[in-house]
Amino acid sequence: MAPLLHLRDVALTFGGQPLLESAEIAVSAGEKVCLVGRNGSGKSTLLKIAAGLIEPDSAERFLQPGVTVRYLPQEPDFTGFATSLAYVEAGLGPGDDLYRARYLVEELGLTGEEDPRAMSGGESRRAALARVLAPEPDILLLDEPTNHLDLPVIEWLEAELKSLRSAMVLISHDRRFLSNLSRATIWLDRGQTRRVERGFGEFEAWRDEVLAQEELDRHKLDRKIAREEDWLRYGVSARRTRNQRRLGELHALRDQRRTARKAVGTVKLEASEAQSSGKLVIEALGITKSYGDRPIVKPLSLRIARGDRIGIVGPNGAGKTTLINLLTGALKPDAGTVKLGTALEMVTLDQSRESLDPATPLGDVLTGGGSDQVMVGGEPRHVVSYMKDFLFQPLQRGTAVGALSGGERGRLMLARALAKPSNLLVLDEPTNDLDIETLDLLQELVADYAGTVLLVSHDRDFLDRTVSSVLISDGDGVWTEFAGGYSDMLAQRGRGVGDRSRVAPEKQAAEAAPKPAAAPAAASKRKLSFNEKHALETLPKKLDALQAEAGKLNAALAGDLYTRDPKLFAKATARLDEVTREIAEAEERWLELEMLREEIGA
């Protein structure tokens, strides 16, 4: 299929350093492609070139006549617009549906009357999304579409993008979002692009194979150079004219080795751990908090033990940060008590990065100023050496914080927080602006941390990989704890964050009410019925069949089915929704039966 947009041989140099060399993007009708790479590798720049907003040093850009393109920037410009709706409607072309623009504004939680100058980061992102989605263009170029969005909006956006027939190129640090949407991956690495016809879910294994082969090739090149140098030193005919060709080949090998661009190093994340805290870290008994008539926390009792890793999730405005502050003693509850354990050493990473003064040099943030030493776990280290662990260059020591990118500020906050000894990590949206490789290392750090972790995050994949239980907002100040990660919570709860519309009011009340403790004696006498045993044995096979059907439906919808047969496309979409619901119900039933079986066995 001929591409709608083809960008190739892209070259661009900034400050004498090549940013892009022979980069390429091609996207055909209906394709969903993710563009991945390290922070600073040039992903956003390449997307802007594809959108026609930046002129590269050289490139070939082909766009089929009549094809419409919409680009979502990380920082939209609202200059000249009185309201959010006016901004959205300005993105419509002749013949576009005005009603769809208003529909999207409302679906994204806006009224349309917001003053762009007073909008929060989340509101700005939602208005920008409505603007690019409303025309239903042929090609969508989306740069970090999930930034500043909460989980309900992320899940809504995911479903909306799946239903569109537009071709897409996505940049995102949200693994689950990329895995669920992408069908091909373009990897931008050291100025060049590689493409693999696999979604992001399979990309990382392929990338690791490529890097391993590169390392092997580099090792072979080093050995060849060593052999040639040995011949040059000891070969008796080294100076003869007929051997000058071999001498020239050695120089060429050395040039190849010297000019090869190595893969960017990895961040070295290691938390400085303090002595162990007491076994009980936090005990909250009947705590409540309200602001005016609005309840943030209704009576909540919670015990957090040493080693627990608690994920706190909910829509924006649910009170996640307030709850963190209540649990850590930074805020007093209206009622109830919070008891903190003994020997606690707490380190907090805030989501807004507000504790970073934009005028302070990077080195002074780490050292406190007036020194070239930073205390890491109680031991002094030279600040430049510690900076390198987080991929900062020595020359950046004097760079003002305000001049750093979002990803660099995120790494700086991590560097400062992890230098302090701790046994309680409080992480409020730590994944914001971090690239996937840094997320990998942060995930390993949290999962292996010997102390206790309180984590607020909208990143579903990160939650699945790190937390031992999830505390979720059910609205109106009600918080419920579920064992496991985000996917486990979804299976047990039967719905995602903020999705209360499918639940009857009486069931909501039942969920919010305290559950009576089960009588141990009754559990011990209880036996699995024939039907329960049969369900335990057959549900895994049923789940496999449903997941296989979902995979086939996703594959069919990812192609050009909409163009060929719109009715079949609608039928397949409806069946996929039904299969997804059946999978959730089957997983929840299997989990209930498995927990019952374990309880009886105990």
Each residue's pLDDT tens digit, 409-452? 778 888 888 888 888 999 888 887 777 777 887 888 788 888 89
Cβ pair 426, 346 in contact under 8 A: yes
Please tell me which residue, 261 or 546, carries the higher pLDDT value: 546
What is the DSSP pairing of strand 379-382 with strand 346-349?
A: unpaired
The residues pairing with 473 across neighbouring beta strands, listed in sequence order, are 479
Per-residue confidence (pLDDT) for residue 377, from 0 to 100: 72
Angle between helix axes 530-558 and 566-601 (nearest 10 degrees) is 150
Task: Return the biggest CA–CA distance within the chain.
Answer: 96
Mean pLDDT of 161-182: 94
Cα distance between residue 91 and residue 85, in whole Å: 10
In the sheet with 5-14, reading across from the earlier edge strand, the strands are 17-27, 5-14, 58-63
Residue type for position 318: A
Confidence grade of residue 220 (pLDDT, cut at 50, 70, 90): confident
DSSP reduced 3-state for 265: coil
Dump strand ranges (E) for 306-388.
309-313, 335-340, 346-349, 373-376, 379-382
* Predicted local confidence at residue 593, as pLDDT: 77
| Topology (CATH) of 5-204 | Rossmann fold (3.40.50)
What is the separation, in whole angstroms, between the first and last Cα of the chain? 60
**In this predicted model, what pLDDT tens digit does every residue of 289-335 receive, in sequence order?**
999 889 999 999 999 998 899 999 998 888 998 999 999 999 999 99
CA distances (Å), 428 to each of 126, 290, 324, in order?
A: 21, 21, 9
The residue with greater pLDDT, 168 or 16, is: 168
pLDDT band at 523 (very low <50, low <70, confident <90, very high): very low
Where does the pLDDT of residue 221 fall: very low under 50, low under 70, confident under 90, or very high at 90 and above? low
Q: Look at residue 52 and tell me whether its pLDDT is greater than 70.
A: yes
Top pLDDT among 419 and 104 is at 104
Between residues 459 and 251, which one has the greater pLDDT? 459
Least confident of 49-58, 144-153, 265-274: 265-274
Q: Rounded CA gap, 317 and 62, in Å?
A: 44
Counting DSSP H helices and E strands in the chain, the numbers are 20, 20
**In sequence order, what are the beta bridge partners of 470?**
311, 482
470-481 confidence digits (pLDDT tens): 999 988 899 999
pLDDT of 354 > 50? The answer is yes
Q: Which residues pair with 42 in a beta bridge?
A: none
Same topology for domains 5-204 and 280-345+421-511, yes or no? yes
Nearest alpha-carbon partner for 173 in 445, 442, 488, 472: 442
Where do the H-state alpha helices sit in 116-265?
Answer: 121-133, 151-163, 175-181, 200-234, 244-259
Q: What angle (nearest 5°) sits at the alpha carbon of residue 457, between those of residues 280 and 448?
A: 50
* pTM exceeds 0.75, yes or no: no
pLDDT of residue 275: 67
Residue 217 has pLDDT above 80, yes or no: no
Quickly state the pLDDT bin for 232 (edges 50, 70, 90). Answer: low
Q: What percent of the chain has pLDDT over 90?
A: 38
**CATH homologous superfamily for 280-345+421-511?**
P-loop containing nucleotide triphosphate hydrolases (3.40.50.300)
**Which residues, in sequence order, are bridge partners of residue 20?**
12
Q: Where are the alpha helices (DSSP H) in 398-473?
A: 406-419, 436-448, 460-466
- The predicted pLDDT at position 545 comes to 87
Residues 18-45: pLDDT tens digits? 889 989 999 999 999 999 988 778 899 9
- Count Cβ atoms below 10 Å from residue 78 Cβ, excluding itself: 18
Please determine, looking at this structure, whether the domain spanning 520-601 carries the CATH number 1.10.287.380.
yes
Q: Is 447 within 8 Å of 184 (Cβ atoms)?
A: no
Question: What would you report as the CA-atom Rg of the chain, rounded to the nearest whole angstrom?
Answer: 28
Is 321 exposed, middle or buried, given 0-12, 13-18 or 19+ CB atoms closer than 10 A?
Answer: middle
Long-range contacts, stretch 462-470, CB < 8 angstroms, 24+ apart: 462/175, 462/431, 463/311, 463/313, 464/488, 466/309, 466/311, 467/309, 467/310, 467/311, 468/308, 468/309, 468/310, 469/308, 469/309, 469/310, 469/311, 470/310, 470/311, 470/312, 470/313
Task: Report, as an integer, the average pLDDT of 510-523.
Answer: 40
pLDDT over 70, % of the chain: 83
Question: For 253-262, which contacts have Cβ atoms below 8 Å and span 24 or more sequence positions?
Answer: 253/221, 253/224, 253/225, 253/228, 254/225, 256/221, 257/218, 257/221, 257/222, 257/225, 260/218, 261/190, 261/191, 262/190
Least confident stretch, 248-262, 537-551, 575-589: 248-262
Task: Over range 57-67, report the average pLDDT.
Answer: 93
pLDDT greater at residue 394 or residue 234: 394
Average pLDDT value for the chain? 82
Least confident of 75-84, 230-239, 365-374, 571-580: 230-239
Contact present, 406 and 352 (Cβ < 8 Å):
no
Please determine, for residue 538, whether its predicted confidence score (pLDDT) is greater than 70.
yes
> What one-character-per-residue DSSP string does 284-317 give?
EEEEEEEETTEEEEEEEEEEEETT-EEEEE--TT
Q: Where are the domains of the chain?
A: 5-204, 205-259, 280-345+421-511, 356-419, 520-601
pLDDT band of 244, cuts 50, 70, 90? low
